[in-house]
Chains A and B, each alone.
Chain A
Amino acid sequence: MTKRAQPTLEVRALHKSFGTDPVLKGIDLIVQRSEMVFVLGPSGSGKSTMLRCCNRLEEPDSGEIFVEGDRLTGPGVNLNAMRQRIGMVFQSFNLYPHLTALGNVTLALRRVQKMPRAAAADAALEALTQVGLGDRAGHYPAQLSGGQQQRVAIARALALRPTVMLFDEPTSALDPELVGDVLDVMREVKAQGMTMVVVSHEMSFAREAADRVIFMDQGRIVEQGPPAQIFDAPREDRTRAFLSRVSG
């Protein structure tokens, strides 16, 4: 039995409320293999919540999510196994402060994927080299700049060889001069064919690197399309208003 070509990530009718406050009001999203999808929207539009539902750090109220056709939502899902296929990069890096860069990357390789110590170290070093930090493997997070910490966090996700990577405002906590390095690494990751969903305010990066831009507002996808269309010829008033606000 051959598997039909599946979208890498599929979100169907996703709903989520915090208390009585509806945050996601029915999100449908299909991300194809090797696609980089950029999610824009004002704060409170639900974009981070949507992203966090995609590895169930946030539990959806209803709706379905599939990774390569395999169901992520619902009972009986082996969540820890599924999560290894979904890399996540956080705004605040969330590196483990008591472990070195290498230790940060090897932890899940050793404890979840049960790799022997040497193999895990090799894989981790390869991932760190990929983000340009092969020579920083022995450094603790406190000894690294913000940009370097975020690149280690990317390596930590990358080393598990996920099928899709989620980026939750990966550059928002960085000093402006450190943003470029992280974006370079993301470009590199994309060039190697990674499927990526990115919530970010880096408009020029979106315009240059994204395959598709999604504009969210008040818990719904308002508009989506290639970056040129969204940025230069948005159809919806809300998109236009948002873009004029952020571009000043």
Chain B
Amino acid sequence: MTGFERFIDTFWNTAVLVRYAPAILQGVGVTVVLSLLIVICGIALGAGLACVRAYRVRPVSFVIVIYADVLRALPPLVLILLVFFGLPNLGIRLSAFTVLFLVLTLVLAAFAEEIVWAGITATPKGQWEAARSTGLGFTQTLGWVVLPQATRMVIPPLTNRAIAITKMTALGMVIGVPDILGQATTAQSFSANATPLTLAAVAYVLLFLPLVVFSRWLETRFSGGRA
């Protein structure tokens, strides 16, 4: 067996590939569902927190800032392990899927809060004044005037962050979530071959490359002036 053949046999073994492709495909399903849930809930929660912070009630803002800073500082893997192996000691038993969803949603929310908050503070004061001068209340102004503009401004960084966090679903492997990487590592240990990992890599590229390209398009679209 030449070196090249050995390389192919290790990373692109057709027999292994055919055998484990269905499992990886199931993993793709799990990753997609998990990612969608995390992006939707994480951004909604983050934007919600940024809005609450806009009311500038000191103790409330303080709690939000602490939350955002701590969750942005902690490596998500640490949180995942902490929650998955720690909570059962308190009698709270969550599935690996739930833990991964909760932790990554909370982490994305922390980043999204900071990003949306930056958008809110970057919206000119004159916009608030114009809206308030026509009799709109604070909440109405926030909802109808400031938030739409703030959101537009922060779509590119928000998209980038959402992609970065959803890629971290791969961390679910360490607690046994049957996502792409989880399925692949299982298959790899059964087959004693790296082909499932190659397959996982291909799956990730197919899944995330369009998103990365999309975020690049968003960036050019929204960077020139505020439309």
Residues of chain A having any CB pair with chain B under 8 Å: 55, 57, 80-81, 83-84, 86-88, 90, 92, 94-98, 107-108, 111-113, 140, 142, 153, 156-157, 160
Contact = CB atoms under 8 A, between A and B. Distances in A.
Contacts of B135: 80-81, 83-84, 108, 112-113, 160
Interface residues of B, number: 21
B152 interface: yes
Interface stretch (B1-9, B18-26, B123-131, B213-221): B123-131
B133 A107 contact: no
5 contacts: A84-B135, A95-B130, A112-B136, A156-B134, A157-B133
Given A98-B148, A142-B227, A83 B130 contact: no
Given A83-B133, A83-B135, A94-B129, 10 more contacts: A87-B133, A88-B133, A94-B126, A107-B131, A107-B134, A108-B136, A112-B134, A112-B135, A142-B225, A156-B134
Contact of A80 (B127, B129, B136, B148): B136
Contacts of B130: 88, 90, 94-96, 153, 156
Most buried by B among A80, A95, A153: A80
A92 B130 CA distance: 10
B86 interface: no
B29 interface: no
Contacts of A87: 133
A88 B227 CA distance: 24
Contacts of B132: 57, 83
